Structure 1
């Protein structure tokens, strides 16, 4: 079971890269698009970050579900799962923003994207508290 924990943590770290970096990269992509009117390297980087972290996110979720099953689904793990679902929804919305950006559609302001980028931090803090303290 310890190797599953290691796999889970490695994949979570990779997924967090995409969760935190892709929305921020969208800000730079939007600025690059406004300046040049073309796709550019920032768009390519944003898509690559998102795709890389997507597979790791799937493995992280599956390995987390496996671990929770082995532990008998304690209450803290169900609460964590709820927060992970919110993170996955956030990530899916980021994917939608990236798909629109590929078409040159940037409707959100820089400020909106910065706030959107920081929202995920609160879910991650909640997850970390649950995993470390296991309050219930």
Structure 2
């Protein structure tokens, strides 16, 4: 069980790194001047590569979490709350992919300020998840 837990943590940390950095790229994309095609393409390339890299990591993080839950019988009310937050993070991840598509087609109308706020969502989720896992309040 400890090996599964260790790799679950590694993949969760890696997934969160992507969830923190991808929206930061979006902030920069939203600030690119219209006449700076090279900068825009460089940022889009970075965002695409990061999104493709982090997707399988998210799958591994969730798969190992499910293995811990069902394979080793980890349970408690805190786990259901954590699961809801993880489902929200998966939706956030998909939303990032949709926003990336908007940037690729130059149809994104959101400001860099909006993306700065959007970037804080996984931070709040991480805080809540760590508290749930460590404190197990219910």
Do the two structures share a fold, i.e. TM-score over 0.5? yes
**TM-score normalised to the size of structure 2?**
0.91
TM-score, normalised relative to structure 1: 0.92
Hey, what's the Cα distance between the residues in 2 that align with 1:34 and 1:57? 33
1:52 matched residue in structure 2: 53
Find the counterpart in structure 2 of residue 67 from structure 1.
Answer: 68
Q: Does the alignment pair 1:9 with 2:1?
A: no
1:109-128 alignment, distance < 5 Å: 109-128=111-130
Q: 1:33 to 1:63 in 2, by over 3 A?
A: farther
> Residue 89 of structure 1 corresponds to which residue in structure 2?
91
Distance 1:5 1:37, change over 3 A: same
Post-superposition shift, 1:73? 2.8
1:101 is aligned to: 103
Residue 79 (structure 2) pairs with residue 42 (structure 1):
no
CA RMSD of aligned residues (A): 1.5
Structure 1 residue 32 displacement after superposition: 3.0
- Count residues in correspondence: 136
SS of 2:75's partner is coil
- Structure 1 unaligned residues grouped into runs of 5+: none
Greater relative CO, 1 or 2 (CA 8 Å, sep 6+): 2
Q: Could you say what secondary structure the match of 1:106 adopts? A: coil
